[in-house]
Amino acid sequence: MPSATALAHPNIALIKYWGKRDEDDNLPAVGSLSVTLDALRTRTTVSFEPGLGRDELTLNGVVAAAEHPRLTRCLDALRALAQCNDHARVDSENDFPTGAGLASSASGYAALTVAGAAALGIDVRDSRLEAVARIGSGSAPRSLHGGFVLLENTATGTRCEPLLAPADWPLHVVVAVTSESGKSTSSRDGMADSRRTSPYYEPWVASHAADLAQGRQLVRARDFAGLAQLAEHNCLKMHAVMLTTRPPLVYWLPVTLACIEVIGALRRDGVPVFYTIDAGPQVKAVCLPEAADTVAAALRQVPGVLRLLTGGLGTGARIVDGNG
């Protein structure tokens, strides 16, 4: 029975993706620039089984009751590449909260894509796998790669460009976990609502290419101070779109803002750190390695921070043996 197991890490966008230019193909309206983390991981086994009546998913040890259309579409794309008709059993585990703004869909679909491809004998470096992972989640192709990854729109799809390997600029990320519960509105639904209703959606899309180009330059130049200003600006611009969506998308908690203030104060004191926040209340502090302990100590003291996840930058999705 063809089967393979893959590990993938979530990634965190420093220049964000919010909005789609094509919902059916899950094509993003804007590019993005991310760092792949090493601290968190998804481990997924995919087995194609002749005679299985439908694709079956076990997520974090719980068998999913209903069919999962995005999962099936990804598997369909892999089956088309390999000319295989068998359904698959998918067993996936995250070692961090699922669906709470920690990019579990990115690592989840990257691991699924790589494990499924390997099980079917497809080269896991095949660039067509980026499109397969993107069907699952627009941020997932970035987790196929390690370090700093740029995802840009092309005429017909998207393309990833790894910018720097983890060792080229070994930043650290301290994630302040402020809630363990899932988010109230999925990114997918939220993006569709923003596109329809936010007066800031069009300016967000129109001003994005400049942020992406500048982000690429700053990463290549390893300009921390420049990247700090740009990433925070881009993050707040995305949240301005979210907040002005109808109904409003308020992903923050009071503790989220408290973390922003603490990180701002640290930077004013000369500590090289900046924040970014996605579709959830967790705060991701990105810093130079020598500042990681100071940043962690400060965030740990913020009332409402439940725990910290800290680590460096990680590698792209990869095959491991069944016990890995």
Binding positions for ligand DP6, rule: CB under 6 A: 13, 16-18, 26, 32, 105, 137-139, 187-188, 278-279
Residue closer to ligand DP6 (CB basis): 16 or 41: 16
Residue 81 or 135 with smaller CB distance to ligand DP6: 135
At closest approach, how far in Å is the CB of 230 from ligand DP6?
Answer: 14
Give me the sign of the Cα torsion angle 54, 59, 65, 71. Answer: negative
- Distance of alpha carbon 20 from the chain centroid: 15
When CB distances to ligand DP6 are compared, the closest residue is: 138
CB 13 to ligand DP6: min, Å: 3
End-to-end Cα separation, the chain, in angstroms:
19
Distance of closest approach, residue 259 Cβ to ligand DP6, in angstroms: 17
Closest of 261, 214, 249, 322 to residue 18, by C-alpha: 249
Nearer to ligand DP6, 4 or 242 (CB): 242
> Residue 39 CB: number of other CB atoms within 10 A?
19
Min. distance of Cβ 148 from ligand DP6 in angstroms? 14
**Helix 128-136 / helix 104-119 crossing angle, nearest 10 deg:** 130
Phi, psi dihedral angles at 22 (to 5 degrees): -150, 110
Identity at 158, one-letter amino acid code: T
Q: Quick one: which of 16, 45, 60, 22 has its CA closest to 118?
A: 45
Q: Which two tokens stand for residue 305?
A: 């921070």
Residue with smaller CB distance to ligand DP6, 105 or 179 = 105
Local structure of residue 67 (DSSP, 8 states): -
Closest contact distance (angstroms) between CB of 110 and ligand DP6 is 11
Residue among 138 and 146 whose Cβ is closer to ligand DP6? 138
- Nearest approach, Cβ of 324 to ligand DP6 (angstroms)? 26
Which of 5/32 has CB closer to ligand DP6? 32
